[in-house]
Amino acid sequence: MTQKTISYLVSDMHCSSCPKLITMDLLELDGVTDVKADLDSHLVTINYNSDLVQTDLIAQSIKDSGYTPKDVR
């Protein structure tokens, strides 16, 4: 099991429901173990098991929730 962390900048989170929705949807993905979505910084940080899920699926989940994830380096 390989635990990894990735962060996305999600500028279009605009109210307190947005981080909740993104978090709920991400946690439904197999392999996503923890999500921190912060409205003020617009950062969404995801802990995941890279044996079970890849970042393209994680980014797609945020898009499917209706938002735009940008890579943070």
CB of 18 to Cu ion, least distance (A): 3
Q: Is 13 helix (H, G, I), strand (E, B) or coil?
A: coil
Q: Per CB under 5 A, which region of 4-12, 18-26, 43-51, 61-69 contacts Cu ion?
A: 18-26
Regarding 18 and contact with Cu ion (CB under 5 A), the answer is yes
Regarding 44 and contact with Cu ion (CB under 5 A), the answer is no
Regarding 11 and contact with Cu ion (CB under 5 A), the answer is no
Helix axes 17-27, 55-64, angle to 10 degrees: 140
Cite the DSSP H helix spans in the chain: 17-27, 55-64
Single-letter code of the amino acid located at 62 = I
User: Which residue, 2 or 16, is less far from Cu ion as judged by CB?
Assistant: 16
10 vs 36: CA distance, rounded Å:
12
Task: State the residues that interact with Cu ion by CB under 5 A.
Answer: 14-15, 17-18
